[in-house]
């Protein structure tokens, strides 16, 4: 009995048709190739079960001088430093009130939002603000409401916005039959009345006087709303005794007027950025309600662009900026877990001289210790030049004066392209990408210090995060090609190119995020498919074997192992994952679930494919060497194909079984089957077992010519 070996070329081949890609693997998910053979990729786990706010598009690990490990995360809403499992918020402040100019009022319709008046506040919907230094204007608010973070709910106009009481960490305190019961999880003594909502009110006696058994935790200014048994818009005006408090609404449920009861100062955090890429201006651009009501959006503001962060270390300190935004500095000294200070603008540091105020990207050169700003504003001007490169004096973050003859600060301009997209440092040079060209920036010493040379014209790059440096090579994803630079620019032959670029959301192509998985010789690109606005797919180039493979996953940023023992990635849901950790999926649950992984071949025919074959048995070739499961299993599926268009072997004769699913265990040596068709497709897929890894060799099938043509 003749045996047919099911041997396929490594990598996925989607450039050919399903029928013509013989001897090739045609489709896969969660699969990699090692030594030419396909295997299930490593799993991922959640090291922290707290999430961050916003979409992360900037990751940076480092170790301080005292060997403390840090991970910086720049998101569309915040900037965090992760230490010992805690997300420490170091988001810079945009503005701080210099006078007691902010006033608050409870709106009359019973809404849980507060209306805030602040002339020319500059806030956007979703921004974060903290209040301090209050004064009572009618109904006291004690100190506990201060220094709490509030999220701006709606921007009414340039002078007015609304906040929702404790939007970030809402309480659920209860008054039932006039008896106050604090939420045992969230509430603490003094919470009620400090600007928080009283919710789930069941009955209040003696309206507008409410009888309670204890008013210790009820103070003036407590808001009560959205309940049929209490006048809408009511709030606590005064606490009359140990058992009663007075509310401010009549029996009809309407308030006589808007009651202003608080004024003070405010600290506004950096305007939040967008999660999505935008272009142009007008209605429909950006997030709904982001700007003031009845005003069209515009992307002339840097806050109306997708938020992408860049960061680098200056010693153990951190220098950071968001694309087309301000440069900030975070000083490690004196910052402890849970008490981190905020990053501050570079120009506010002591001794700052002619510092840039805007840049597309900031970087610190490893050897020369210059801080470099790409796409910066020239000295003496606040206008950004998208092709200008500036650098500081050596070993200085504060001295940028190019007129100082004794210093090394300077600048130069890229000669082609319309804007700098990304700069990335290699062992020999810094590569600078514009929208149409690639340049080499090298340190030449005095008197000019840095010089730039053109490397290639007429290239493209998908976005600022689409490039990575690996050893002596740089890989990046263009807008219709993949490239590598190792002294010269070359296009990488790609066997999945049409698959990727024919189903990608070009409106969101700036979201493409590249990452290195050096332990397996891989470069990953995460990208949004045509029907998605978030990264839901990936394409991998194995630069050791020079093969490609594909799959589906939600990841917005990725860094390779190094300081941390595993590659680290983030999702659009605000989670941090350790990859190559175990064999399972911890994407959406606190517990692990089996990972869905499969690989499928193109068809194999007997001879020229002009005869039917009869399959009688299969000899598997699988190893479960890295499985922690003592009884691992994989499913082999044989699919019969009669004609090129009959990909999945749809049956024309219901008396014939056209597919067979074969469970394969660790010691399975032979399985009898009975299938008939012109060609056979092999599919291998994970079972529903945990802790199972597998690798496929070259299975064999026992076939005989059927005799039919």
Last residue in a domain, options 555, 581, 607: 581
The rounded distance, in Å, linking the Cα atoms of 497 and 481 is 7
What is the rounded CA–CA span in Å between residue 523 and residue 290?
A: 36
| CATH code: domain of residue 635 | 2.60.120
The Cα 82–Cα 325 span in angstroms is 23
- Backbone dihedral angles phi then psi of residue 9, each to the nearest 5 degrees: -65, 145
Q: 289, 297 in Cβ contact below 8 A?
A: no
What is the model's pLDDT at position 105? 59
pLDDT tens digits, 522-579? 999 999 999 999 999 999 999 999 999 999 999 999 999 999 999 999 999 999 999 9
Hey, which bits of 253-330 come out as E strands?
Answer: 259-269, 281-282, 297-298, 309-314, 317-322, 327-330
The answer to whether residue 361 sits within a structural domain is no
pLDDT for residue 482: 98
pLDDT tens column, 456-487: 998 999 999 999 999 889 999 999 999 999 99
CB atoms within 10 A of CB 260: 15
State how far the alpha carbon of 255 is from the alpha carbons of 358, 402, 569, in Å. 48, 63, 51
Q: Are residues 618 and 688 in the same domain?
A: yes
What is the rounded radius of gyration, in angstroms, for the C-alpha atoms of the chain? 31
Query: What CATH number is given to the structural domain containing 564?
Result: 2.120.10.80
Contact 673/631 with Cβ under 8 angstroms?
no
| Among candidate residues 269, 300, 317, the one where a domain is terminated | 269
Tokens for 9, please give them.
Answer: 């070329």
Number of domains in the chain: 3
Q: How far apart are CA 353 and CA 369, in angstroms?
A: 17
Strand ranges, E, within 414-491: 420-425, 430-434, 437-445, 449-457, 467-470, 473-477, 482-485, 489-491
Residue 533 shares a structural domain with residue 664: no
Structure tokens at 365: 């050169």
Specify whether 137 is located in the same domain as 259: yes
Residue 533 falls within a domain, yes or no?
yes
The DSSP-derived string for 14-46 is: -SS-TTT-TTEEEEEESEEEETTEEEEPP-EE-
547 plus 652 within the same structural domain: no
Residues 531 and 646 in one domain: no
Residue 616 belongs to a domain? yes
Is the domain of 109 the same as that of 235?
A: yes
The answer on 619 and 476 residing in a single domain is no
Element (H, E) at 163: strand 160-164
Q: Which of 581, 614, 630 is where one domain is finished?
A: 581
**Alpha-carbon torsion (194, 196, 202, 208), positive or negative:** positive
Residues 568, 606: one domain?
Answer: no
Domain that holds residue 646: 3-25+597-705
Contacts of 608 (CB under 8 A, 6+ apart): none
Residue 269 φ/ψ, nearest 5 degrees: -75, 165
- Looking at residue 459, what DSSP letter applies? -
pLDDT of residue 281: 42
Do 239 and 194 lie in one domain? The reply is yes
- Any domain includes 566: yes
- Give the H/E segment covering residue 153: strand 149-157
Residues 214 and 112 both lie in one domain: yes
**Spans of the chain, pLDDT less than 50:** 107-111, 136-145, 166-219, 221-235, 243-245, 248-261, 280-285, 293-300, 651-657
If asked whether residues 577 and 606 sit together in one domain, one would say no
User: Are 19 and 163 members of one domain?
Assistant: no
Q: β-strands 223-224, 547-552: how paired?
A: unpaired
Both tokens of 352, joined, read: 């700052």
* pTM: predicted TM-score of the whole model, two decimal places: 0.85
Q: What angle do CA 564, 566, 571 make, to 5 degrees?
A: 105
């Amino acid at each position: 009995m003749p045996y047919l070996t099911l041997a396929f070329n490594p990598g996925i081949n989607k450039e050919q048709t399903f029928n013509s890609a013989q001897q090739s693997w045609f489709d896969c998910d969660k699969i990699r190739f090692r030594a030419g053979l396909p295997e299930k990729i490593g799993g991922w786990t959640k090291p922290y079960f707290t999430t961050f706010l916003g979409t992360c598009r900037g990751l940076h690990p480092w170790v301080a001088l005292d060997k403390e490990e840090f991970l910086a995360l720049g998101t569309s809403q915040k900037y965090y430093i992760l230490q010992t499992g805690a997300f420490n918020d170091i988001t810079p402040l945009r503005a701080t009130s210099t006078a007691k100019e902010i006033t608050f009022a409870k709106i009359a319709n019973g809404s849980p939002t507060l209306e805030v008046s602040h002339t020319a506040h500059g806030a956007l919907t979703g921004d974060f603000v903290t209040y301090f230094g209050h004064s009572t204007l009618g109904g006291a608010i004690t100190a506990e409401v201060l220094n709490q973070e509030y999220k701006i709910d709606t921007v009414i106009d340039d002078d007015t916005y609304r906040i929702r009481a404790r939007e970030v960490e809402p309480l659920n305190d209860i008054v039932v039959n006039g008896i106050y019961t604090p939420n045992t999880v969230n509430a603490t003594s003094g919470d009620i009345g400090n600007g928080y909502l009283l919710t789930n009110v069941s009955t209040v006696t003696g309206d507008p006087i409410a009888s309670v058994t204890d008013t210790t935790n009820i103070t003036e200014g407590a808001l009560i709303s959205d309940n049929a048994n209490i006048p809408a818009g009511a709030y606590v005006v005064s606490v009359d005794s140990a058992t009663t408090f007075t509310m401010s609404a009549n029996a009809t449920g309407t308030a006589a007027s808007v009651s202003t009861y608080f004024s003070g100062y405010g600290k506004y955090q950096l305007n939040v950025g967008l999660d999505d890429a935008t272009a142009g201006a007008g209605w429909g651009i950006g997030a709904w309600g982001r700007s003031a009501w009845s005003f069209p959006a515009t992307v002339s503001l840097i806050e109306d662009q997708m938020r992408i962060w860049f960061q680098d270390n200056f010693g153990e300190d951190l220098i950071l900026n968001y694309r087309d935004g301000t440069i900030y500095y975070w000083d490690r000294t004196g910052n402890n877990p849970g008490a981190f200070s905020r990053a501050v603008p570079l120009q506010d540091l002591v001794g700052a001289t002619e510092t840039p105020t805007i840049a597309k990207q900031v970087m610190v050169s490893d050897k020369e210790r210059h801080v470099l700003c790409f796409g910066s504003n020239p000295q003496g001007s606040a206008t950004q030049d998208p092709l200008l490169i500036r650098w500081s004096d050596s070993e200085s973050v504060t001295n940028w004066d190019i007129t100082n003859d004794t210093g090394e600060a300077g600048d130069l301009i890229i000669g082609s392209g319309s804007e700098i997209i990304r700069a990335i440092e290699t062992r020999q040079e810094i590569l600078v990408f514009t929208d149409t060209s690639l340049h080499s920036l090298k340190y030449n010493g005095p008197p000019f210090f840095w010089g730039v040379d053109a490397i290639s014209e007429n290239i493209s790059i998908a976005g600022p995060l689409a490039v990575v440096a690996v050893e002596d090579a740089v890989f990046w994803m263009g807008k219709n090609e993949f490239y590598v630079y190792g002294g010269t620019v070359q296009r990488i032959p790609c066997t999945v190119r049409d698959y990727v670029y024919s189903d990608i959301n070009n409106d969101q192509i700036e979201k493409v995020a590249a990452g290195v998985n050096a332990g397996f010789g891989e470069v990953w690109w995460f990208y949004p498919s045509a029907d998605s606005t978030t990264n839901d797919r990936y394409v991998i180039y194995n630069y050791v074997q020079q093969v490609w493979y594909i799959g589906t996953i939600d990841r917005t940023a990725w860094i390779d192992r190094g300081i941390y023992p595993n590659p680290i990635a983030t999702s659009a849901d605000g989670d941090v994952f350790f990859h190559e950790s175990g064999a399972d999926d911890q994407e959406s649950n606190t517990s692990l679930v089996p990972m869905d992984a499969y690989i499928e071949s193109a068809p194999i025919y007997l001879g020229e494919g002009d005869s039917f074959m009869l399959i009688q048995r299969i000899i598997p070739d699988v190893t479960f060497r890295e499985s922690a499961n003592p009884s691992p299993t994989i499913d082999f599926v044989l699919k019969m194909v009669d004609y090129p268009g009959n990909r999945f072997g749809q049956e024309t004769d219901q008396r014939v079984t056209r597919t067979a699913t074969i469970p394969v265990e660790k010691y399975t040596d032979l399985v009898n089957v009975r299938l008939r068709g012109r060609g056979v497709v092999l599919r291998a897929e994970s079972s529903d077992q945990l802790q199972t890894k597998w690798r496929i060799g070259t299975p064999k099938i026992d076939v005989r010519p059927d005799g039919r043509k």
